[in-house]
Structure 1
Amino acid sequence: MSNHSIDYRNDFKNISIATLATALFKRGLKNQCIQNISPLHSSGKKLIGTAFTLRYIPAREDINTIEVFKNPEHPQRVAIETCPENSVLVIDSRKDARAASAGSILITRLHMRGCAGIVTDGGFRDCTEIAALDFPSYHNRPSAPTNLTLHQAIGINEPISCGDVAVFPGDLLVGDADGVIVIPQHLIAELTIECLEMTHFEDFVLQEVKNGSSIRGLYPPTNPKTLERFNNWKKTQNHIK
């Protein structure tokens, strides 16, 4: 495994957020799963990409009128147009879904620009259209379309909170049907290698269980013969090096 060439977008396709959570927990990081969000997209496509952030604050009515959306430098619009290819737009919506973080037009624009997905601890409008996109989209719940000015976009690509998790620009977000986890940037490479090995072992364990094995001594591998069988099993798997 030490000679493994890191390819994050390819490697993390095969690593569940449950496995990543275990690896992070071993390092003392217990609060990396974004809380109270779920996938809106129905394609099942996995979310994998580095964080590009947008922060909202409570709107102040005298400066956050409907007219501000005509400004091409509006922070929400700027974030949509500058989020890099293969990055995830992560939005701090204060865990408040009363006003939409974005709608189908803006999210389609992210999709067409080659971004990797979008995550908010608030909500989206136009949920039917967003769900039909082959674009990983996670939110709290649908937002009322008319509540346009409860939030005010204020900060772009700075540290934020999303679903009670600290998200720094450049952190890696991985999402599947279970939710979304945030991997600190400096841990990405070592978690790739460790979690691929963990994933291979879990594949082996699942096959053993399907063949009738007890989990005692198998999971975790407290029986020394378990790891011996695992190493022999790996030699038979062409995709494992």
Structure 2
Amino acid sequence: MMALTAATRDKLRTISTATVATALFKRGFRNQFIQNVHPLSPDQPVLVGEAFTLRYMPAREDLNQLSVFRDRSHPQRKAVEDCPPGAVLVMDSRKDARAASAGSILVTRLMKRGVAGVVTDGGFRDSAEIGKLGFPAYHQRPSAPTNLTLHQAIDINVPIGCGDAPVFPGDVILGDGDGVIVIPAHLADEITDEAFEMMAYEDFVTERVNAGQGIFGLYPATDEKSLDDFAAWRKANGR
């Protein structure tokens, strides 16, 4: 599996999840957008990185007491300390935000370790504090109870489902104001290059529509003149 290159990472920071979703759809991928997760702050940076996963299961009460945190191999604590710099910690919290996946202390630790961001299909406690960190973080909604009440951390860096999207370790995660999408690792460069080109055309289209042009033949580009005009626009704008 190829690692995410610096060039691809930089390009992805300029591309929307919507454009990536279209590029994936062209290849038959329909379920890569993580459903019902939202940025904790509208001002947080774009999220880009490779997935490092944590899986929760329904808690069994006799195995999920506060004393489990004395064990340094506890999967939640270990995931926070093992997630590589530049990666994204993605948590399968069973789409259940009734108990928190983590809180501000653990998320701050991820940030200080150089992790790129964090995503859960559950909730975060201390969400207001997390939202002030300037760190890319996505969840379903705020949640105060500790994860131990309902969720049992069970495994690290295995394939998971997060908000109905399949996430394999090493898949590329992109998050913006719309949400989070998962790019299969082997397609990361290909999808990024195509989406980067699509964004250029969409910027051209937006400029034309703002100038009063209609969308027929322009969006999508079914008129050859639209492609000719786009080529001239790219040359004039250095795109």
> TM-score scaled by structure 1?
0.94
Give the structure 2 partner of residue 188 of structure 1. 188
Q: Matches of residues 29-178 of structure 1 in structure 2 within 5 Å? A: 29-145=29-145, 148-178=148-178
How far did 1:6 drift? Answer: 6.6
Residue by residue, what CA displacement relative to the aligned partner does 1:99-151 show, whole Å, maximum 9, x if unpaired?
11000000000001111100000000001110001111000111133563311
**Partner Cα distance (1:51, 1:227) in 2:** 37
Residue by residue, what CA displacement relative to the aligned partner does 1:78-112 show, whole Å, maximum 9, x if unpaired?
00001011100000000111111000000000001
Give the structure 2 partner of residue 18 of structure 1. 18
**Are the equivalent residues in 2 in contact too, given 1:6–1:192 (CA < 8 A)?**
no
Q: SS of the residue aligned with 1:85?
A: coil
> TM-score scaled by structure 2?
0.95
Structure 1: any 5+ residue segments left out of the alignment?
Answer: none
Deviates more, 1:211-220 or 1:137-146: 137-146
Distance 1:19 1:90, change over 3 A: same
**Partner Cα distance (2:192, 2:147) in 1:** 41
Q: SS of the residue aligned with 1:195?
A: helix
How many residues are treated as equivalent by the alignment?
Answer: 235
**Partner Cα distance (1:69, 1:126) in 2:** 19
Distance 1:6 1:193, change over 3 A: farther
**Are the equivalent residues in 2 in contact too, given 1:76–1:153 (CA < 8 A)?**
yes
Q: SS of the residue aligned with 1:148?
A: helix
Letter in 1 for 2:37: I
Structure 2: any 5+ residue segments left out of the alignment?
Answer: none
